[in-house]
Amino acid sequence: MATWNEHVAIGRPAPTVKGIGRAMKAAFLKDPRALAILEDMQFPEIEWFTDNMFDRMIECGIAEQNGAGVAAALASEGFIPVVNNFLFAGMSRAYNQIRQSILVDRFNVKFIAREGVWGEVGISHATIEGWGSLRVLPNLVMINPADAVEAEKATEAMMQYLGPVVIKQEMSPDPFTIFSEDYPFNIGKAYSLRDGKDATIIAAGYLVTEAVKAVDLLEKDGLDVGVLNVSTLKPIDEEAIVAAAERTGAIVTAENSSDINGLGDAVACVLSEKLPTPLVKVGVEDEFGQSGLITPERDELMEHFAFSAADLAVSVKECIKKKERVR
């Protein structure tokens, strides 16, 4: 069995939304300026918020551009609005309002945004392109936590930080518990779960779970593979990425979103400027998300998009071959 670095404690699956909800409850109790902006969608821990924070929830309805404008106005008056929605609705539909009314003035608005390839939500809601579209916007911090522990710590950090932040609440199977409770999360800092010698999987969100599984598969083939969790896409931890490339010389990126303008492209940009390194990107390859059948026996979407540990293992071996050709 693979060994892991400090603060890594691989355990049972748990939904990341639970971690977001715990931290959000604590933040609302601590700071009366925090307000929930609803757009006909349930806030995390909605029953608790309905019972305890009813007067701090503002329902804007299915009018997301209006929701962004309301959030901007409240932030300009010193409140801390938290907008919760599918990414395609709360952010993509309101893209211009977020750019113009929130990010240009760098207002202190927080977003919890659902996106990913998993579920029976239909092609309209199963978007994978929104995350990358946000990456070009200045002043926005972007975080995609790997498990419920990191989701809780990231949400706490988001509420402490003064400025706009989006946390991705990924549509995926429940990830493994990856981190121990004393894991020292810091916005903008990647964390090496395992260093490795032959290749490094640089992953975010649910794909960290599949990367963890892939390490065991590859170990059986005699390969020592590291895993670097890059949960903050912006600002990205260039130092940790370059260190992983120096250590192993082969990088596979893994993300539950489009492979255009997401984690893979961000890592490729860093390495092409600082340390050109053989790289394989794992993500959705220029197609739309869609619904699929998910049963205890079969996960049609994980199969369709080839996001399993076995698929990652294939990419790692391909990348190691690239490395050997370069030598």
Partner 1 sequence: MSEKINCPQCGMLLYFGEEISRRLYMRAIPDEAAVLAGYGNVCPRCGASLSVDSVKIEIKRRATSKEGVTHGS
Task: Collect contacts of 56-62 with beta carbons under 8 A, ≥24 apart.
Answer: 56/28, 56/32, 62/89
- The least distance separating partner 1 from the CB of residue 139, rounded to whole angstroms, comes to 4
Q: Which of residues 5, 52, 180, 186 is near partner 1 by CB under 8 A?
A: 186
Is residue 114 within 8 Å of residue 16, measured between CB atoms? no
Taking the C-alpha atoms of residue 127 and residue 323, their distance in angstroms, rounded to an integer, is 33
Select the span of 64-72, 79-87, 187-195, 211-219 touching partner 1 (CB under 8 A): 187-195
Taking the C-alpha atoms of residue 206 and residue 211, their distance in angstroms, rounded to an integer, is 9
Alpha carbon 324 to its chain's center: 31
- The least distance separating partner 1 from the CB of residue 82, rounded to whole angstroms, comes to 17
Q: Kind and range of the H or E element at 166?
A: strand 165-170
161 interacts with partner 1 by CB under 8 A: yes
Q: Which of residues 6, 40, 273, 324 is near partner 1 by CB under 8 A?
A: 273
267 interacts with partner 1 by CB under 8 A: no
User: By CB under 8 A, what part of segment 10-49 binds partner 1?
Assistant: none
Q: Give the position of tokens 């309301």.
A: 70
Give the torsion sign (CA, 11, 13, 17, 22). Answer: negative
Alpha carbon 62 to its chain's center: 25
187 interacts with partner 1 by CB under 8 A: yes
- The least distance separating partner 1 from the CB of residue 236, rounded to whole angstroms, comes to 10
- The least distance separating partner 1 from the CB of residue 106, rounded to whole angstroms, comes to 4
Nearer Cβ to partner 1 (235/276): 235
Question: Which one-letter DSSP state was computed for residue 299?
Answer: B
276 interacts with partner 1 by CB under 8 A: no
C-alpha distances in Å from residue 128, one per residue of 68, 82, 114, 269: 21, 22, 10, 20
Q: Which of residues 34, 53, 83, 141 is near partner 1 by CB under 8 A?
A: 141
Binding mask 213-242 for partner 1 (x = CB under 8 A): ---------------------xx--x----
Q: Residue 84 pairs with which residues in a beta bridge?
A: 38, 112
Nearer Cβ to partner 1 (1/162): 162
56 interacts with partner 1 by CB under 8 A: no
- The least distance separating partner 1 from the CB of residue 170, rounded to whole angstroms, comes to 22
Q: Residue 82 pairs with which residues in a beta bridge?
A: 36, 110
Select the span of 33-41, 99-107, 193-201, 243-251 touching partner 1 (CB under 8 A): 99-107
User: By CB under 8 A, what part of segment 72-91 binds partner 1?
Assistant: none
Q: Kind and range of the H or E element at 176?
A: none
Q: Residue 38 pairs with which residues in a beta bridge?
A: 59, 84
Kindly state the number of chain residues that form the binding site for partner 1, as judged by CB under 8 A. 20
Q: Residue 112 pairs with which residues in a beta bridge?
A: 84, 167
Binding mask 100-139 for partner 1 (x = CB under 8 A): ----xxx-------------------------------xx
Alpha carbon 60 to its chain's center: 26
Residues that bind partner 1 (CB under 8 A): 104-106, 138-141, 157, 160-163, 186-189, 234-235, 238, 273
